[in-house]
Structures are given as structure tokens and as C-alpha cells.
A and B are shown apart, each in its own frame.
Chain A
Amino acid sequence: MFYREAGQYKTAYATDQRIFPILQDRAAFTALMVAAFVVIPVTGNDYWFNGLLIPLLILSLATLGLNILTGYAGQISLGSAGFMGVGAFAAYNFMLRVDGMPILGSFVLASLCAALIGVLFGLSCHRIKDFYLIVATLGSQFFIEWVLTKFAWLTDYNPSGVITAQKIVILGVAFDTPMRRYLLVLTIVVLMTLAAKNVMRSAFGRNCMAVRDMDVAAEVIGINVFRTKLTAFAMSSFYCGMAGALWAYAYVGTVEPQAFDLDRSLQILFMAIIGGLGSIMGSFLGAAFVMLLPIVMNMAGSAMFGHSIDAGIVANVEHIIYGALIIWLLIVEPHGLVRLWQIGKEKLRLWPFPR
């Protein structure tokens, strides 16, 4: 009933090709954008921006990047955090060494650097796939971390190896408050998400999915498998690189290589899997689940128990519940949160008589 498309006719190709073909979806999306760009900046506080929304958006972007590679092109990677690190350190060095470099320019160049490194490591996908490729990307993760700690030039000979990110100033406007940084991150994430959505609906996106579903068949029908995989590596690393630069500049403000360790790669992979592989929206849902749930449980735990029982027990119980929830979710719905969302929509469409 709520999702009935009856009466919504498509009379032109343009209407047929819309991202949201149904009016209800368009309305919901518009409402979401208004909320994100207008309502939240007006009503939110620093905790919302700094503590929750900025990291959430950045991790969603990184998850989206991994989803392009893993979800759409079928190449599982454990190197996302490494590429984030490349983005962060490259942005710092462009800002440091090029006079008058605009910050957004350095972000884009840094992301291109990450893409280049991604392609370099992606070359191995010509010969190997599946588990062997995972191991190769794992190698890239350790290699990048090693390079970032080993060569002092990259950190401007800072003895402790920690970057102090420069200030963000765009066209004379300093992005120095959490709210402004949130808006900057939000704008970049929305634009890049729209771009990803459209690219994945293009011929390239379909090539990716063909390669993912069966690479031999894809080759038989004339798709250049190697080039498709490499392009996916490039695009994915570009997104991760941008996420890394934003992490350094808009979120923590200082960055050490350890911020981009294997744990972060695994976290991003879990976000993609829990959210739903091969889905743009799933990236956001997965990031929200993995990042926010522990925080929500921690708040609930300390609000309920306070000083009354040992804080260590509360903290450990949170971990247990969190792990159990993930296992339960993946048993009930292996396709991730986005599948639950689709089922919900389907039921709303048939409401009041859902199956």
C-alpha cells in the first residue's frame, strides 16, 4: 500500500533511468537530504558531529569503496585501511610541499595516489583470485603500513611519526568548527555516493557484476576481465584514499600509521558484509551498525548500571552481546541489513496483506 507504484507512468527514457523510480523513494530521499543538510546542522551538538556523524560518514565512504571492489567486482580485499593511509599521508605531503595547494585539490590528488597504489597491488588479480587475492591484498596492507613508518620523509621527519594535519580552508572559509567539518564531509560523501551509484549502473558497473558472477562467462561475451578488475581496484582505492584524507583532516586532525592498521581493514570489510555486499545503501547501514551499536550499548550500559557493578563486567557483556548479534544477523539474513530493508519495503508494498 505504501510502496504502490500504480499510477506512476514512465513516459520518457529519462524517467525510466532515474535512481529512484518511485515517488515515495524520491520523497524519502529528499527528506533525508533536508534532514542531513539543514535540520541536523541546526539542531545537532558537537558530540553528534565529532563523536558520531563525521566518523560514521567517513567510514561509510571507505565501506562504499570496498563495496565497489568486493561487492560489485567480486575481488575480496583486506587492504582498505592501507589505501586510506595512502590518502591521508599523500594529502599531508601535497599540502606541505606544494605552495598554495587548495585543500580539496590535495584531497583529490591524494585519492588519485591511492588509486595508483591500488592499481599496482591490483595487478596481481590478473593471475590470482579468491583466497590467494585476499592474501595479496593483506600483503599490501602490511607493506603500506611499513612504508609509512619506515620512510621519515613521508612524515616530514617528525620524530614520532605522527602527522599534524593542516587546517582546512576552502575559498577563505575556515572549516574549524565541528558543524562545518560535518557539512564538508557530508557534501563530499553525498557527491561521491551519487557518482558511485551512477557508475555502478553504467556499462562498467554491469561488467563488474558479470566478472563477479562468473569471470569465464564474462570473458566469453567480450568483457575485458583484467581491465574491469583493475578499474574496480582503482575506483575502490580512490574512495578509500578520500576517506583516509577526510579521516586525517576532518576527524582526528592528527594521524599516525597505526590508525590505518589491519583492524581498520577488517572493520571496513565487516561493515560491507553486514550491510550487504553489492549495495550502495548497504555500505551506510553496515557502517552504522558496526560503528554505532557498540557506542549505543556502552551508553545504555553505563546509564543502567553506573557505579553499581564493576565496569569491566559491563564492558565485556557489551562485547558478548555485540558478537552474538552479528552471528544472529548473519544466520537470519546472510545478505546483510540491506536485504532486511528490501524485505521491509516489499511487505509495505503488499500491506495490509503481506506474506
Chain B
Amino acid sequence: MNVRMLVKRSLAGAALGLAATMALPAGATPNEQYFPMIGWRTGPLTPLGVNVAAGWIDYMDLLNKRDGGINGVKLTWEECETAYKVDRGVECYQRLLRNGPTGASAYNPISTGVVYALLDRTTTDKVPIVTIGSGRTDTTDGSVFPFVFPLGTNYLSTNTVKIKFIGMQEGGMDKLKGKKIVNLHMDSAGGRETIPLLDAQARKYGFEVTHISVAMPGSEQQSAWLEIRRIKPDWVILREWGVAPAVALKTAEKTGFPLNRIVGVPFAGTEDDLIPAGSSAKGFYVVHPMPTGEFPVTQEIRKHLYAGGNKGNLQDMSRMGLIYYNMGLTYGVLNTEAVRTAQKKFGNKPLTGEQIRWGLENLNLDEKRLRELGVWGLVQTIRTSCRDHEGGGAAKVYQWDGAKLVQVSDWIMADKAITRPLIEESSAKYAKEKGITPRDCSKE
């Protein structure tokens, strides 16, 4: 786009904006459901921000163009740039809170830091936050966190899937006894989150776990891997993200640790992390609650948004069907299905954040519904309740073959018997600190 066009457009846009604000008569509420999007297209995690936003916007756009919105209610959205900074995220939250005819439907901050900062505010402002594949694990307990929804699979669940997968590789959970597992984690809030869980599982299954921390941002891991070489573990859990996983895999290769004995968290093994590593990361396992690949819904998006020279929100078409884009699709599916669920109770009109909160808490996506939406295999079955805001808890395991992620297991369900007490302990502590009386879920 040349400068002249940019200036022209900006002037026209400004005039349009002014005209729109002046022309809108008071009282006439447009039939629209408004989604605030606090994300980023600049900063350290640009690929994540750009592609998730693209998937999410494309899905909402698909519903608008193909179905005319949700039961006649058109979807609208507005982006606010945070550059992955917490304070900018809080500012964006406040800025978009009351926009649209009924205010913000639900926030999906993606960034864990922003989730923590918004925890209290959402309860007072009566707007739900949805944290798919990120956020704070104990918010799964909906009796203490009525407005927070870590839909899909939380960090603890993903971690139990890893242990289950390791058990499967060893030939049964009883074979874990006496095995040595190293938990190589980032030295940050999210990085330390699984330590108590792994300790509990180590006691239960009789394996030995060693926690080794890597200082942010993790560009230097020589000493950590030397220690791993000394311990000689059977498996390494790689709880790293950003620049760290690539460094870890390179260092592992250098120190002679077999890569097919490393299991990574989702953000350690997206295509964006692994393509630069190429064949040197071959054999590395990753657990993904939001899978890679193309699904019927992807074809629909290609047909309705991209066919005939049209453009959707995705600039680089080679990204379609990759993890980040599919994450965006999942955000789109779960948020809009919550709107649909809430409409059944409150009517087919623009809904408030509080009404959508009800929809999020009563989601029921079974195989039939997921097939109807064309997302079977992409989105796991999810059923939420007051007690359980996670609703799912499964993940698939992939292995990097040097060029792409190859699925090596179907959905593996998390071991909730072991995560639930930890979640309840943590949420009870939060409730006590904050003076929150938990809701009685039997009455909901």
C-alpha cells in the first residue's frame, strides 16, 4: 500500500468514523454481538498473536457470511494491541469493556499475565474471561471463579496427559516405578505451576522427579543439560516456551540426549518453534490440546472467505491448518457456541457478558454437535458445569518428523482424580485470601 493511498484511506476512515458516531441515533441498538479482542500483532510473540487472531476472526467471519451470524445476531469485534504487555492489556480491557450494543461478550486474553491481572475485575464488571490453553489452572473450580473459564485443557491436565503418555510408552503405568523423570521448566509463574502435581504423581506411581529451572528467557541452558546428563533420566518434560525450546533441543542434541525421550508442552512444540529447528528436532514429542491439520471447517473457510481472490484475516496462507491458526479457530468455536447456548435461555438477541457467562457454564459440545460444526477432531468434547469450568481435559500427542508434526496418539484423557484436589486446595486458598464465599454448585 503506497503512502498516498494510506493517507487517503486514513482521511476517509476518520471522516467515516466521525460520521458514524454522530449519525448513530440514541436508543437504536444494532442486532450485534460484540467481542473485544485484546491481543497483539507486534512484540515478542508476534506469530502467536497474529495467527490466533486470524483463526478466530475467520471463524466469526464465516458465521457472518455463511449463516448471517448466530440466529440472526451478527458478530462484531474490535482489536486492541497490547504488544504482549500486561499493563497495556489492562488498559485495553477497560477501553473495550462497554463498547458494542451490550458491552463486551467475553475476553480471551491469551496471555497468562493479563489473566491474573483481570481475575478480580471481571467479577465486579460481570464479564467472563475465557482462557483456552492458558491462564490460571485453579480457575477450573467455578464455585470460586464464576467468571473465569479455562476451557478445554488446563496446564495440570496437559501434564497428566504427558505422564500417561510416558506410561504408555513404557508399557503401563505400573512400569513407571523407579523411572527417573526430569521436569525442565521456565523459572516463571507458569513454569513452576506443575511442580506440586508432578511431586504428587511421583509419590503415586513411584517414579523419581527432579525439577530443574531455566532462567527466563532460556537462551542459555548448558548447565541444565549437563545436570540432566549427570542424572541420566528416562524422560524429560520440557516446560519451556519462547526462544527456550529451540535452545533446549539443540543443547540436548549436543549433550547426546535422545530427543524421542523428551515430551514438550504445547507452547514448546508448535510449528513456529519446530520449523526453525528442522531435522535437528526429529523425534521430539509434544502434547497438544488443540491439534494441527485441516478439518471440514477449514474447507468451509477456504470456500467462503478465501475463494475467488478474496482475503480473510490470514495473510500467509501457508499458516492455515497449523497449531496457532487452529487455536484461533478453537477460540472462535467455543466463544460462539457459548453465545448460542446462552441464546437458548435468554433469546436470540444481543446478550450481555453476564448472560454469556451462563452460556459458558452450560456448554455441551458432544460428538454430534462437533461434527455439525465441522470441527470434530479439532475441538475435543466439552461439557462445563458450575463445578468444572474446564469441561474437557484431553490432548493428543504429536511427534516431529523433521518437517511436520505427526499424530502418534488419539485424545488422551487427563487424570482428573489427581488434579482436582490440587485445584480445590489452590482455589480454596484464593477464596480465603480474597474473602470470597464459594457458590454452592448443587443449587446452580
**Residue ranges of A at the interface with B (Cβ–Cβ < 8 Å):** 46-47, 50-52, 55, 146, 149-150, 159-162, 164, 166-167, 251-254, 256, 258-259, 294-295, 298-299, 302-306, 308-316, 318-319
Contacts and interface: CB of A to CB of B under 8 A. Distances in A.
A167 B117 CA distance: 14
A308 B79 contact: no
A299 B13 contact: no
A311 B91 contact: no
Contact of B433 (A164, A306, A312): A164
A160 B79 contact: no
B188 A310 contact: no
Contacts of B94: 46-47, 50-51
A167 B435 contact: yes
B196 A304 contact: no
Contact of B13 (A259, A295, A308, A318): A308
A310 B193 contact: no
A46 B125 CA distance: 10
A312 B117 contact: no
B345 interface: no
A298 B315 CA distance: 21
A164 B17 CA distance: 40
Contact of B81 (A55, A150, A304, A318): A318
Nearest to B197: A159
B192 A256 contact: no
B50 interface: yes
A306 B10 CA distance: 10
Interface in B1-26: 1, 9-10, 13-14, 17
DSSP class of A's interface residues: helix, strand, loop or mixed?
helix
**In the A-B complex, the 6 residue pairs with the closest CB atoms:** A51-B94, A312-B41, A304-B13, A160-B189, A51-B91, A47-B94
A116 B50 CA distance: 44
Contacts of A319: 42
A35 B205 CA distance: 65
B116 interface: yes
A164 B119 CA distance: 10
B97 interface: yes
A160 B80 CA distance: 27
A252 B95 contact: no
Contact of B116 (A55, A256, A313): A256
A161 B189 contact: yes
B9 A51 contact: no
A308 B10 CA distance: 10
Contact of B53 (A146, A299, A311): A311
A127 B119 CA distance: 46
A166 B91 contact: no
B434 interface: yes
A43 B90 CA distance: 21
13 contacts: A159-B193, A254-B116, A256-B189, A258-B188, A259-B87, A298-B80, A303-B13, A304-B13, A306-B13, A308-B13, A313-B1, A315-B40, A315-B41
A166 B433 contact: yes
Nearest to B53: A311
Interface string B180-207: 0000000111101101100000000000
Interface string B66-104: 000000000000111101001110110111010000000
A252 B81 CA distance: 18
Contacts of B120: 253-254
A258 to B, nearest CB: 6
A301 to B, nearest CB: 8
Contacts of B116: 162, 252, 254, 256
A256 B136 CA distance: 13
Given A47-B94, A51-B94, A316-B42, A159 B195 contact: yes
B91 A55 contact: yes
A8 B435 CA distance: 58
Nearest to A59: B87
Contacts of B40: 315
Contact of B95 (A146, A251, A299, A318): A299
A311 B49 CA distance: 11
Contacts of B402: none
Nearest to A164: B433
A149 B41 contact: no
Contact of A258 (B88, B113, B136): B113
Given A258-B216, A316-B41, A316-B42, 9 more contacts: A51-B94, A149-B187, A160-B136, A164-B430, A253-B119, A294-B88, A304-B13, A305-B9, A318-B81
Given A51-B91, A159-B193, A302-B78, A309 B188 contact: no
Interface string B106-124: 0000000100110111000
Nearest to A176: B124
Contacts of B362: none
Given A146-B215, A166-B433, A258-B113, A305 B188 contact: no
B434 A164 contact: yes
B190 A47 contact: no
A310 B50 CA distance: 10
A294 B81 CA distance: 10
Contacts of A50: 90, 94, 121
B188 A304 contact: no
Contact of A160 (B87, B119, B193, B216): B193
B113 A259 contact: yes
Nearest to B41: A312
A308 B9 contact: yes
Contacts of B280: none
A341 B193 CA distance: 50
A337 B193 CA distance: 44
A295 B91 contact: yes
B111 to A, nearest CB: 11
Contacts of B193: 159-160
Contacts of B10: 304-305
B426 interface: yes
Interface string B277-305: 00000000000000000000000000000
Contacts of A47: 94-95, 97
